[in-house]
Amino acid sequence: MREFIYLSDAKLRQFIPHPRRLRRPGALRLTTPVGGIDLDAPAGDAESARGRQLAEVVRHLEESARWFGEPDLRPGEWVWFEAPLLYVTLRNADRDLLLFTDPAPGTDPQYPSAECRLLLHGSVRHLLGVTPVPVEGAALVEYGGFEGSGGTPFITDAGRFVRAVTGTEDPAPPGAQGVRDLLAALDAAQPDIPTAPRTQGYARVTTSLPATETAPRCLVASPLTVEYAP
C-alpha cells in the first residue's frame, strides 16, 4: 500500500486536454512534456477516477522521468527522486507556500553528502494528513539600506525566488543566489525540525543550479507526488 504525503491535483489537471481533442468517446489523452498516453474513461466515483488517473500518470513517468541528480536537466522536464525530505513553511512568506528540502550535508548519517541538493516548492493545500513545520527562513524583504531610498522596500534575492514560485508579481527573475540563500537558511533551521522521512516521487524541474566552490549542485522543482519510500 502506498502512502502519500503530497499530491498535486493541479498538475494532474494539466495533463487533461480539451474534450474536443479526444480521439474516441470515453477516452482521455494524457499529454506530458515527454509524450502522450491514453487513459481509460474515469469511473463514476471521483476519488476512484483520481486514483486511476494518477496510476496511469505514474506508470508513464516510471518509464520517462529522469533521475533528479542528472547534471543536464532543463526547466519543464520531469524527474523522479528518492531522498529524506523535511517539509516546512516560511513564517515571513505566503502561508500557502510549502517547501521540501533534503538534509544539510553531513547531518544525516544514512544520507551521505549528496552531489545534488533537492529543493521542492508546492502548496500546503496538496498535503495529505501531515503538518509542515513553520521556520523563519531567509530574509525575504529588507527595507531601506540604500542611500536615497527614502525607506522604499527592496526585495532580496531570496525574496525574488519566493515571489516567483508563489506566482506573485516580481519585477526581476529569481537568481541562483536567492535559492542558495534560502537553502542556507533552511539548513540552519534543521536542528529544530523533526527527522526527515525517506520519500520518493515525481516533480517538474523549475531550475537547476550548477555546483560552486562551496556548494553542490541544486535542483529546484515542483512536485506532483511525494510519498513515503518503502
Residues of the chain with pLDDT under 70: 16-44, 113-114, 143-153, 169-174
pLDDT at 164: 85
pLDDT at 110: 77
pLDDT at 171: 53
Whole-angstrom Cα distance, residue 110 to residue 196?
11
pLDDT at 139: 87
pTM over the 0.85 mark:
no
Residues ≥6 apart with Cβ < 8 Å to 209: 176, 179, 180, 217, 218, 219, 220
